[in-house]
């Protein structure tokens, strides 16, 4: 798929020319399940995203065509117009969240496609939300700042897609900068760009080809566990607003007051905050061994404490260790998707070959391989 194919599809559907907008998916080097706990995340935008051709149509209706699904959907802009198709709800939700903030928008025609692998933990949904939030902001001259555009995408997930996600995915999609990762404090929304071009290393994603569904109760249950642990700690320490504000000493004070499951979830989150800070410090020193060690630490925590890994992800993580890969961990919400791997270039070919062979022998198919290029965020093309 390419931009010319998108423009042709739009013209075939609507008989007009269009303006093209794009927003990327993202990786997250470290800092998982910390965003909704007020902690740090360390994402970067990637060279895969959602591409949408859009033209205002002067009506109060949206005519949308998904090239990937080869489906069309027409819907209005009032709450009762919620479309049945799940992919259309992301666009509808963005429109409604813009309106809820007091801005006026009208109908438009759109055709769109994505090259972010679905279900691989690279946040195709946030890329979709960010594309339309950015585009509508531009086309209707709304002058909404990028932070609020990110919140519009997040609110779309919460209110129209059933996922109580944090802000990281939408933030990364909108604020991405080529050659840089971003450390975001999800409590204060303060962020800093860090140059990321590790000489002698490659960043590669290995896709289990196991699809996860973040709207499932498992994701939301973990958030509830964190909120419960945080509330218990805050009762003794009022300065704790988010779980990431807490220390292990504070968590141990309420050990007997909370379920063991809630304790494990909180232990992971508190440890993950420190791992992010350790990685930022290590990158400034060029210390990739520490970066890799912390990535393995995150995988252990997500597998054993937060329990969002799975047999396939753990297998790929074990293979990475066996092959001498510097760092490897599950990336994204979990329950499938990808591992993100920091690999020395001279080990890369052997690692990929071994991973394909051993994974195929165990699960009957090879993992998909995605090399990562850190790229710019939402923009008009």
The set of catalytic residues is: 169
- Smallest CA-to-CA distance from 339 within 78, 17, 32, 88 is with 32
**Which helix (H) or strand (E) covers residue 278, if one does?**
helix 260-285
CA distances in angstroms from 68 to 34, 50, 95, 170, 302, listed in the order given:
32, 11, 21, 21, 32
Neighbours of 139 (CB within 10 A): 17
Buried b (16+ CB within 10 A) or exposed e, 27-47: bbbbbbbbbbbbbbbbbbbbe
Q: ∠180-183-187 over CA atoms, to 5°?
A: 150
The CB-based long-range contact list for 143-152 (8 Å cut-off, 24+ gap) reads 144/98, 144/101, 144/103, 146/174, 146/175, 146/378, 147/171, 147/189, 148/101, 149/174, 149/378, 150/174, 150/175, 152/94, 152/97, 152/98, 152/101
The CB-based long-range contact list for 153-159 (8 Å cut-off, 24+ gap) reads 153/94, 153/126, 153/129, 155/93, 155/97, 155/100, 156/90, 156/93, 156/94, 156/96, 156/97, 156/129, 157/93, 157/125, 157/126, 157/129, 159/93, 159/96, 159/97
State residue 149 phi and psi, 5-degree precision: -60, -40
Taking only Cα atoms into account, the Rg of the chain, rounded to an integer number of angstroms, comes to 21
**Helices and strands in the chain, H and E counts:** 11, 13
**Which helix (H) or strand (E) covers residue 89, if one does?**
helix 86-100
Provide the pairing of β-strand 108-114 with 61-66: parallel
């Amino acid at each position: 798929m390419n931009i010319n194919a998108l423009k042709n599809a739009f013209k075939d559907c609507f008989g007009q020319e269009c303006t093209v907008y794009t927003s990327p998916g993202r990786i997250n080097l470290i800092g998982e399940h910390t965003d909704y706990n007020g902690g740090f995340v360390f994402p970067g935008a990637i060279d895969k995203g959602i591409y949408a051709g859009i033209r205002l149509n002067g009506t109060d209706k949206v005519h949308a065509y998904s090239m990937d699904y080869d489906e069309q959907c027409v819907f209005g802009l009032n709450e009762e117009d919620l479309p049945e198709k799940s992919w259309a709800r992301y666009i509808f939700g963005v429109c409604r969240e813009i309106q809820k903030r007091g801005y006026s928008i009208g109908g438009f025609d759109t055709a769109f496609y994505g090259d972010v692998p679905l279900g691989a933990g690279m946040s195709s949904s946030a890329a979709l939300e960010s594309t339309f939030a950015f585009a509508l902001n531009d086309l209707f001259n709304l002058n909404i700042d990028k932070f609020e555009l990110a919140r519009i995408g997040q609110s779309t997930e919460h209110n129209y897609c059933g996922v109580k996600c944090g802000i990281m995915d939408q933030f990364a999609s909108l604020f991405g900068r080529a050659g840089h990762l971003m450390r975001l404090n999800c409590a204060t929304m303060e962020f800093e760009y860090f140059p990321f071009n590790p000489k002698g290393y490659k960043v590669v994603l290995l896709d289990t080809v196991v699809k996860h569904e973040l709207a499932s109760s498992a994701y939301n249950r973990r958030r509830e566990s964190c909120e419960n642990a945080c509330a218990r700690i805050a009762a003794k320490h009022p300065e704790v607003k988010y779980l990431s504000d807490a220390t292990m000493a504070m968590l141990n004070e309420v050990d007997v007051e909370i379920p063991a499951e809630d304790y494990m979830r909180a232990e992971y989150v508190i440890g993950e905050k420190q791992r992010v800070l350790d990685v930022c410090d290590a990158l400034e020193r060029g210390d990739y061994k520490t970066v890799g060690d912390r990535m393995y630490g995150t995988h252990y925590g997500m597998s054993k404490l937060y329990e969002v890994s799975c047999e396939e992800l753990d297998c790929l993580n074990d293979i990475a260790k066996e092959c001498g890969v510097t760092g490897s961990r599950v990336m994204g919400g979990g329950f499938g998707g990808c591992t993100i791997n920091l690999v020395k270039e001279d080990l890369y070919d052997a690692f990929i070959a071994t991973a394909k062979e051993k994974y195929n022998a165990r699960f009957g198919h090879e993992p998909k391989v995605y090399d990562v290029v850190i790229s710019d965020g939402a923009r008009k093309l």
